[in-house]
Amino acid sequence: MPQTNRSRNRALVEFVVLPFLFLTVALLGGLRIGAESGTFIFIAPPLVTLLLATLMMLLLVRGGLLRLHQWVGSDFPPLTNVAHIWMFITIFFASAQAFNSVLPERGLLHWLFSFFFLWTLWNNQFSSFDARRLLRSLTVLFGTAFVLKHMLLASLYSPEGGWLKRVAGTLLEGVALGTLDAPTFAAVTGYIAFFTLALYVAGLILLAFTVSGETTVVTDPVVVNHQQLSAAEPPAVHETILDDPGDVGHRRLPRER
């Protein structure tokens, strides 16, 4: 019974909860609120975010959060394959929209942020990652980008003018201001972006728990032989196998009479 409940809970998380979380991220990642009119503005993900999402998917595979060979195959039922493929698609577009939520919409800073993400993700392709280390790295990456865009740059673009805008105006005196041009949105846009990134990271953490909870396949020949023994086998066979795991390689099973 506990094993059955565990399987049902894992199926619920994989096929319902995770796609719902990542679909929500995909819908909210491009949402902005106009500063003056207060209307909803949906910004399509730029082409560079699709490239970033592709690099992100490769990182998730290397980190063990996505296991294509274990989740999709000819041995699985068709509905299981379709459900897992649908989850991969939602993760891809959620990743693209997560980057979209922290990228400046246009101007020089848009390309600076894009280069920062590309450089970081490309270098990580050649680093050794496990699931826990990868999650920490992604949390720091998105957290840094969120602070830069929705806190520092929001003060820079604010029409009222904050201290950062005055400092930037002094430092960039003589530089074309059009290179730093970006639309101004309402402050609630930052809250939406924070909620979006929190959902995305929470989905990745939940995905990591789902992967770590999967049953490990036992390939040790001694354990496999013991599992294949029937109840009618002599008790000495079981005792010989399970008596001392450290010496099991030096023992010989008694021959059947």
Measured CA to CA, the distance from residue 180 to residue 173 in angstroms comes to: 12
Q: Is-contact 152 106, C-beta < 8 A?
A: no
pTM of the model: 0.73
Would you call 32 helix, strand, or coil by DSSP? strand
pLDDT at 62: 87
Task: Return the closest-CA partner of residue 135 out of 187, 79, 64, 45.
Answer: 64
Which of the pair, 154 or 250, is modelled with greater confidence? 154
For the chain, count helices (H), then strands (E).
Answer: 12, 2
Q: What are phi and psi of 31, to 5 degrees?
A: -85, 130
Which tokens is 25 given?
């991220």
Longest Cα–Cα distance of the chain, Å, equals: 96
Element at 40 (helix H, strand E): strand 40-42
Whether 231 shows a pLDDT value over 80: the answer reads: no
Which of 27-36, 40-49, 217-226 is predicted with the least confidence, judged by mean pLDDT?
217-226
Once rounded to an integer, what is the mean pLDDT over residues 219-233? 50
Q: pLDDT per residue over 88-120, tens digit each? A: 999 999 999 999 999 988 878 888 899 999 999
